[in-house]
Amino acid sequence: METNSQLSSLEEQIREYYGRVVWTHKTHEKQADIYKGRNEVLKWSQIIVSAFIASGIFVTIFKSAPIVPILTGILSVFQFVLSAYAKTSDFGEVSQLHAKTAIEIWNVRELLLSILIDMKDNRVSLNEAQTMRDDIHKLLYCIYEKAPRTSVRAYNKATKALKDAEEMYFSPEEIDSLLPSTLRRKMP
């Protein structure tokens, strides 16, 4: 026979899981954004430096200014460094890995929320909730085991997004505005 104390302890543990998963999900989203931004900066830098090199070569061919070949040579070396860096740092791929991890963690977040709701509404027994918790624990382990590492910067951005910007939450009015009029709580 289940007691209120057992249900309360299990609910606290699932709430703790939920909090961690929300933070991890948001951190991976922010890390994906960071790498996507780095990838864009790197690609644009390569394009801009290539344009300067091409124009430097063009000027060198048609007009003899002694500084142009020197600048073109320096830019060529810089372009080589950018290309080598791009070759060893695939920010686009890493960004996609973090985005994929965030989606997998989002699914777990929603499962945990559903368990909490079912527990609150007494739709699941203690044993069922424990089994669901254990299954989610195994799923999370598999996700975390293959997940790429996040940075302090991504964690700080996630903290700001969750605490200051409240990115995870909607006011009742915001939810109503997203729903069809027949599902709104406050009719217009």
61/28: higher pLDDT = 28
Angle at 125 between CA 120 and CA 127, to 5 degrees: 130
| CA gap 5, 151 in Å, rounded | 38
Per-residue pLDDT at 64: 65
CB 148 within 8 A of CB 98: yes
Could you read off the pLDDT of 119-172 as tens digits, one per residue?
Answer: 989 999 989 999 999 999 999 999 999 999 999 999 999 999 998 888 877 788
Per-residue pLDDT at 86: 84
* pLDDT higher than threshold 70 for residue 2: no
- What radius of gyration, in Å, describes the C-alpha atoms of the chain? 26
Mean pLDDT score across all residues of the chain: 88
Entry pTM: 0.80
